[in-house]
A and B are shown apart, each in its own frame.
Chain A
Amino acid sequence: MAAAILRRLNPTTATLVAPLLPLARAASDSTSPLTIETSLPFFPHNIDPPSRTVSTTPAELLATFRTMALMRRAEIAADSLYKAKLIRGFCHLYDGQEAVAVGMEAAITRRDAIITAYRDHCLYLARGGTLVAAFAELMGRVDGCSRGKGGSMHFYKKDAGFFGGHGIVGAQVPLGCGLAFAQRYRKEGTVTFDLYGDGAANQGQLFEALNMAALWKLPVILVCENNHYGMGTAEWRASKSAAYYTRGDYVPGLKVDGMDFLAVKQACKFAKEHVLENGPIILEMDTYRYHGHSMSDPGSTYRTRDEIAGIRQERDPIERVRKLILAHDLATAQELKDMEKEIRKEVDIAIAKAKESPMPDESELFKNVYVNDCGLESFGVDRKVVRTVLP
């Protein structure tokens, strides 16, 4: 059952990527197909939408539940670590939006590229990143995925096609189009998922990138993760048109229920096939974040607690999958609860291991400014600073 997802891994990377999922369980792990209809239709813009009927398997649903529950638990653990001052700086949490990361991953391979903004912890995990590497990076330790030099906003995973992790709003969008251009050139049938938020949707560089992508028929899927608030500003106060899937004008778009794993998976699968033939498409994921914009934002000054609680009640992505699993008798409620308990333990173990990792050495400060650190003269009155050699 873990195999279903692991099988999509490039064989050479399977050994490098530690599996996120456990070995076979007592619960139903068959791969017999299930067809389920998404609860909401897709809203199209200049394109025929995909079917609402999505095929999945019990194994996939269980794996999805596990992955999303793991992500949820990891984000909440990050919240506690931040409050305990083990994580410093900025920390933007993804809880509530898990279905986008997991649904996307279910539709693509590790050879496809994903690039996103700063709310990247769960995308890193979805791409096969380990919990230990994630927590170590958050705490600035050397075993982190960016050797402790990136922090929360700069997670990367080259062997899984995860291009990170960007702090400047909207800056990653033209980058994603560049990635897609390279993919088109390589003719490997791979695509790029270029994620941004509703706040970034008004950045000029997005439209510049979109024009280039459309002009040159680049296999890029622009994914607007619309959680309806750009930091503290509601979308209707920042955008004349909050129908982000239509903002591409001549570029077709699709609005997707981002809290529904199956809808996201279907849309991403559809989008991948589309862009390989026709050039860019915009997917707007209608999603929601429970936490504030970052750990410095309580998240309740610009929206009501009722709204947050309402979404948690009605649209929570994990609960949705839980209901599906129970409705189709794929596992019992107790088994799912046990899975969650196990996940909790797994996250705690990972955090403990991450805490053991040391801070990076001072010499790392000057590493990788340039390749081979050439041309870097690090001088100051502090005579302990080493001067690196010019080529």
Chain B
Amino acid sequence: MAMKVLREVGRKRSGAAGIGGSRGFADCAAAAMGVAERREGGGGTKAVNLFTAVNQALHIALDTDPRSYVFGEDVGFGGVFRCTTGLADRFGKNRVFNTPLCEQGIAGFAIGLAAMGNRAIAEIQFADYIFPAFDQLVNEAAKFRYRSGNEFNCGGLTIRSPYGAVGHGGHYHSQSPEAFFCHVPGLKVVIPRSPREAKGLLLASIRDPNPVIFFEPKWLYRLSVEEVPEGDYMLPLSQAEVIRKGSDITLIGWGAQLAVLEQACEDAAKDGISCELIDLRTLIPWDKETVEASVSKTGKLLISHEAPITGGFGAEIAASIAERCFLRLEAPVARVCGLDTPFPLVYEPFYMPTKNKILDAIKATVNY
């Protein structure tokens, strides 16, 4: 009963935002704009940073669905990154509460809560701590609907977690574990690049009837400021966005890495290389069509992510595109990623896929 209601609500909202409609080779950027326009509530925008945008999304999510809950370590006072400020005061300690220090318990508990038809929005304080919860997410959350023949599901589950390098995080406050979860059919992995994207994608993730892991780039929490619509809006999942049009090479990234890629694009433009930049946004299920269309146009592909290169999600993109665009490719698919070492402490600048590494790779690929 409750499940049907959840699905209906999900469908209504996705209908309103244009998700699930036919996604041809339409200009995704324009589509996103169209989606953003269909707002409920206020029509204005305000310049806010990433954690404020996430906070706004959570406020709206809890406001619009009385059966949604936010919990995790230290979320009550606002969280270590201030993403949950004001929620406990506004919605009460029965809906916004702290959990003890037990990630496996948090994930399992969230799955159970979601299985009862609620929207469980759990926070894992740093993505580096998600591994005790890995079993619950992979073996329970991802497989719940499948193994029960659709009798049960935990679609209301959303796990939010800050990921990525921050300049001084070291081994356990900087990891990018998205690739581990991209390997699990049944889960969705969503990563926003900016405040506007974060709010829209988070609301879409919360309302999506599948378990979603939402990684937030912690480096951008304060750094990234953007005009964000004040009302309720969603951005489509599984739709990549072409954020910069070009003709010589396709660059793909997600999260904080896009800022670095953008800088590389600017520098490459000075050398006369026209780069097309795509934000993947949803890592699984990922928008193969958009990427394929872009590579069919440019004939070259470069993927960049912070996670170590071997087995990173770039490998999946490279293999799929090689399969789909083999005859069109004019150079090997380049991957500029973190090195195959544990995330280092003092060596962080060496480890990271920096603008210059990307620029080198762009030139090497274009001149192949």
Tell me whether A and B are bound partners.
Answer: yes
Residue B188 lies at the interface, judged by CB distance under 8 Å to chain A: no
Question: A344 to B334, alpha carbons, bound, how many Å?
Answer: 55
With an 8 Å Cβ cutoff, the count of chain B residues facing the other chain is: 41
Can you name 29 A-B residue pairings with CB atoms under 8 Å? A88-B168, A140-B346, A149-B346, A151-B346, A168-B129, A168-B131, A202-B101, A203-B102, A204-B102, A204-B104, A205-B132, A230-B100, A230-B101, A231-B73, A232-B77, A233-B98, A239-B100, A359-B346, A360-B346, A365-B344, A369-B341, A377-B310, A378-B340, A380-B339, A381-B334, A381-B357, A381-B358, A382-B357, A385-B339
Interface-facing stretch out of B41-49, B170-178, B220-228, B269-277: B170-178
Among A140, A151, A203, A365, the residue within 8 A (CB) of B341 is A365
Binding site for B on A (CB under 8 A): 88-90, 140, 148-151, 153-154, 167-170, 199-200, 202-205, 230-233, 237-239, 301, 359-360, 362, 364-366, 369, 376-383, 385
Q: 1/0 contact trace for B273-313 toward A, CB 8 Å?
A: 00000000000000000000000000000000000011000
Contact of A153 among B129, B170, B351, B360 (CB under 8 A): B170
**Max chain A C-beta neighbours (<10 A), residue from B131, B334, B347:** B347
Q: Select which of B168, B170, B336 is within 8 A of A381 by beta carbon.
A: B336
| Inter-chain contact A382/B360, CB cutoff 8 Å | yes
A237 CA to B364 CA, complexed, in Å: 57
Number of A-B residue pairs having CB atoms within 8 Å of each other in the complex: 105
Chain B residue contacts of A362, Cβ below 8 A:
347, 350
Q: Given contacts A154-B171, A204-B105, A377-B310, could you give 8 more A-B pairs where the C-beta distance is less than 8 Å?
A: A153-B170, A168-B131, A169-B129, A202-B102, A365-B344, A365-B351, A380-B337, A381-B364
Select from chain A the residue with minimum beta-carbon distance to B345: A151
Q: Which residues of B contact A230 (CB under 8 A)?
A: 100-101
CB distance from B252 to the nearest CB of A (A): 15
B262 within 8 A of partner (CB): no
A148–B346 touching, CB < 8 Å: yes
Q: What does DSSP make chain B's interface, helix, strand, loop or mixed?
A: loop
Of residues A90, A170, A381, which shows the largest number of chain B Cβ atoms within 10 Å of its Cβ? Answer: A381
Given A237-B98, A238-B101, CB of A365 within 8 Å of CB of B345:
no
**B318 CB–A CB distance under 8 Å:** no
**A-side contacts of B346, CB under 8 Å:** 140, 148-149, 151, 359-360
Q: Which residues of the other chain, A, contact B337 by a CB distance below 8 angstroms?
A: 380
Given contacts A140-B345, A149-B345, contact A200 B101 (CB under 8 A): yes
Q: Do A380 and B74 touch across chains, with their CB atoms under 8 A apart?
A: no
Option from B100, B168, B309, B342 in Cβ contact (under 8 Å) with A369: B342
Q: If A89-B345, A90-B173, A233-B74 touch, does A369 touch B101 (CB 8 Å cutoff)?
A: no
A233 to B171, CA, bound (A): 24
| Known contacts A232-B77, A366-B341, A380-B339; is-contact A90 B357 (Cβ 8 Å) | no
